[in-house]
Amino acid sequence: MGQSEIESKADFDHIRYAQLWEDADVLTAALGDCAGGTLVSICSAGDNALAMLTLDPAKVVVVDLSPAQIACLKLRIGAFQSLTHPEFLELTGSRPSSRRADLLSQALEESDPETRAFWTALSPEVVRFGIGGVGKFERYFRIFRTRLLPFVHSRKTIDDVFVSRPSEARAVFFDTRFDTFRWRLLLNLFFSRLVMGRMGRDKAFFDHVEGSPAQHVARRIRHAGVDTDPSQNPYLHWILKGTHGDALPMAWRPEHFDTIRARLDRLDIRPGSLEAFVSTGEKANGFNLSDIFEYMSPDMFETVYGSILSAAAPNARLVYWNMMAPRRVPARYQSKVETLQTVEDQLKARDTAFFYSDFVVEQVRS
Ligand SMILES: C[S@@+](CC[C@H](N)C(=O)[O-])C[C@H]1O[C@@H](n2cnc3c(N)ncnc32)[C@H](O)[C@@H]1O
């Protein structure tokens, strides 16, 4: 298979996602027992490929069409190798820092010249926002938080979102303090197709999406505010406050730092498409497919899905999200895979990266 369909449509010259907006806890739980196996992961900002190292695989093959996204992972590798965990969190932007420029230089010391040049040019932005804040997607959230949110909610209300409460109290807080008329108006404006396409996601990504993004986001925010505990949600915290609180994404937590650092040499980074990996003839035991299927037309999805199956070992799991466009095993491959419905239901209920409408776990029949 040649070029990936989206490759010719979107512009990948800059960082689109400076951190990973998919919940690595549910991803790693969905992949099951992968010890000693080969895993394949879409890179994006690299955090979930790093989280997959906690599963003790023999290797994680990391692919991405975007050199800028691959550079995010390469920088993280340098940061894990050369920084302490508290320094790492300062560099990411999870914690305040007055020395990010130095931490960035330290993290880049052993990097290849392209990665160093790429990130050095971004140093002023890293100093302000951290490496997790410099993508197009994060900029979109920043504009939302700094320019629009203050017209809707006071700082006190935002702080109160992250007070831990039992679920009934969360529903009362959400209905009476958070989900106000102004909030709903803001969602409708900001998550219009036009604005989202212009500021966050490439318009090409909406070609196959059905329904209003704002309606979808409103439903999912209720999941993040009521069904799950906001005080444990790093994604919601970053969106509303521009940094992290107590909760961190999996790969950034202190308890995983040494394990990930010790296994960095198991990452096998292959810039390029997933389709290129599947054409090598290698077999993998699990795939983190991010939400890439949503970026494809249904016909292309079917073709790519078939080629992934040809690169999947028996019992391999395919794990992926859908934000708005429905994508699940195509009819012609249904006899080859089993949908792990119970696993999906349990994990969907826990998923703190709340934007997605669906989370899919499919296992290749042995
Ligand atoms: C699908 S996007 C979604 C990002 C995600 N929701 C997040 O939170 O980071 C993730 C990455 O997939 C890459 N990508 C999309 N289609 C791909 C393909 N066919 N092969 C390899 N990478 C692909 C993009 O370059 C992007 O960096």
- Phi and psi torsions of 4, nearest 5°: -70, 145
**CB neighbourhood size of 171 (10 A):** 15
Sign of CA dihedral 195, 218, 156, 163: negative
Ligand 1 contact, 21 CB (< 6 A) = yes
Task: Compute the distance between CA of residue 170 and CA of residue 277 in angstroms, rounded to an integer.
Answer: 45
Asked, for residue 93, whether it belongs to a domain, the answer is no
Asked, for residue 71, whether it belongs to a domain, the answer is no
Best probe residue, ligand 1, of 13, 15, 65, 250 (max atoms within 8 Å of C-beta): 65
Task: Compute the distance between CA of residue 139 and CA of residue 14 in angstroms, rounded to an integer.
Answer: 12
Asked, for residue 358, whether it belongs to a domain, the answer is no
- Which pLDDT belongs to residue 215? 77
Q: Select from 162, 173, 160, 156 the least CA-distant residue to 230.
A: 162
Alpha-carbon distance values, 112 to 6, 60, 123, 325, 351 (Å) = 28, 20, 17, 38, 36
If you average pLDDT over residues 44-49, what whole number do you get? 98
Q: How confident is the model at residue 218 (pLDDT cuts 50, 70, 90)?
A: confident
pLDDT value at 111 more than 70: yes
Q: How confident is the model at residue 130 (pLDDT cuts 50, 70, 90)?
A: very high
- Which pLDDT belongs to residue 12? 46
pLDDT value at 364 more than 90: yes
pLDDT value at 163 more than 80: yes
- Which pLDDT belongs to residue 214? 78
pLDDT in tens, 132-147: 999 999 998 999 899 9
The DSSP bridge pattern shows strands 337-339 and 358-364 to be: antiparallel
Best probe residue, ligand 1, of 15, 62, 64 (max atoms within 8 Å of C-beta): 64
- Which H/E stretch holds residue 92? helix 85-92
Best probe residue, ligand 1, of 290, 327, 355 (max atoms within 8 Å of C-beta): 290
Asked, for residue 207, whether it belongs to a domain, the answer is yes
In the reported structure, the alpha carbon of residue 41 is separated from the centroid of ligand 1 by a whole-number distance in angstroms of: 10
pLDDT in tens, 21-33: 999 999 999 999 9
pLDDT value at 1 more than 90: no
If you average pLDDT over residues 86-105, what whole number do you get? 98
Task: Classify residue 56 as left (phi > 0), alpha (psi -120 to 50) or beta.
Answer: left
Asked, for residue 214, whether it belongs to a domain, the answer is yes
Query: Looking at ligand 1, which residue's alpha carbon is closest to its atom 9?
Result: 20
If you average pLDDT over residues 106-130, what whole number do you get? 97
Q: Which domain holds residue 226?
A: 143-241
pLDDT in tens, 274-300: 999 998 999 999 999 999 998 888 999
- Which pLDDT belongs to residue 316? 98
Asked, for residue 232, whether it belongs to a domain, the answer is yes
Q: Cβ contacts of residue 27 below 8 Å, gap of 6+?
A: 48, 51, 52, 288, 319
Average pLDDT of every residue of the chain? 92
Ligand 1 contact, 351 CB (< 6 A) = no
pLDDT value at 52 more than 80: yes
pLDDT in tens, 233-261: 999 999 999 999 999 999 999 999 999 99
pLDDT in tens, 170-214: 999 999 999 999 999 998 887 777 666 665 555 555 554 556 777
Ligand 1 contact, 48 CB (< 6 A) = no
Number of domains into which the chain is organized:
1
Q: How confident is the model at residue 90 (pLDDT cuts 50, 70, 90)?
A: very high
Task: Compute the distance between CA of residue 123 and CA of residue 347 in angstroms, rounded to an integer.
Answer: 37
Q: Which atom of ligand 1 is nearest to the CA of 321?
A: 6
Q: Is 239 exposed, middle or buried (0-12, 13-18, 19+ CB in 10 A)?
A: buried
Asked, for residue 248, whether it belongs to a domain, the answer is no
Task: Compute the distance between CA of residue 165 and CA of residue 170 in angstroms, rounded to an integer.
Answer: 6
Asked, for residue 180, whether it belongs to a domain, the answer is yes
pLDDT value at 10 more than 90: no
Q: How confident is the model at residue 9 (pLDDT cuts 50, 70, 90)?
A: very low
Ligand 1 contact, 248 CB (< 6 A) = no
- Which H/E stretch holds residue 189? helix 181-190
Residue 336 CA from chain centroid, whole number: 28
